[in-house]
Amino acid sequence: MVVLSVDLGNTRAKLGVYKDGFLIETRVLTSLQLNSLRQDYPNSSVAVSNVSKNEHVDLLKKTFGDDFFELTFSVRLPFQMSYDTPRTLGKDRISNAAALVSFCNNKPKLCVDIGTCIKFDFVDQNNVYYGGSISPGLRLRLAALNQKTANLPDLDFVKPSSFIGNDTNQSILSGVYFGMLNEIEGMIDLYLAKYPEMNIIITGGDANHFDFNQKYSIFADENFTLGGIYQIYLLNEK
């Protein structure tokens, strides 16, 4: 059985192709490639997590018909929800929580997803999801500095070589990067102070810019969200 796990994010769409339980292919999709998924994988089902434009979901629903599954807060989930507003909970965060339960042991577990936003999601040792936090990612911070000030430039992200910026561009990059680095490490420290045996997973499109393994015992998985979508699909197809 071939299942297409599709993560429609704020800045990109990512595909994971699962065959008989194994991830055999991943790629980032353009709008045109989304339109041709049914042709490219004719004997497949699709499972979609969407935090982006509904038009993509409508298209996939139309082309896949009965082979279409969309993740929502009301489908069967592998964890108990202890979140005050589940209707507002992002599908990507639901997917990450499902992946934590599916792939981690019976300890407290934390997913740090570094993309458009930095998202922390926590599941305890009894597989109860409590929530976490959301803050701006790299590009949102750079965009805000440009758009909300009169003179600061619009920069693409380049990892700074030093925390001391010796010109305006380097000062911005230093503030954004090292500010994020210390924010993430500070949040992890807060969790570890309360849950010292906690497992930590790092994922997201910008996670590769950061190296936390020198300080923490962390498992990095760039396809973690795709795995969560797939696990929720399997749970609901039984």
Residues tagged active-site: 92
Contact present, 119 and 190 (Cβ < 8 Å): no
Sign of dihedral through CA atoms 209, 118, 160, 179? negative
CA–CA dist 144, 209 (Å, integer): 20
Contact present, 230 and 16 (Cβ < 8 Å): yes
CA–CA dist 238, 230 (Å, integer): 13
User: Any residues with CB less than 8 A from the CB of 95 and at least 6 apart, and which?
Assistant: 7, 49, 71, 225, 226, 228, 229, 232
State residue 41 phi and psi, 5-degree precision: -130, 75
CA–CA dist 118, 207 (Å, integer): 10
Cα atoms in the 13 Å half-sphere on the side-chain side of 8: 20
Written as six digits, the tokens of 138 are: 């790299």
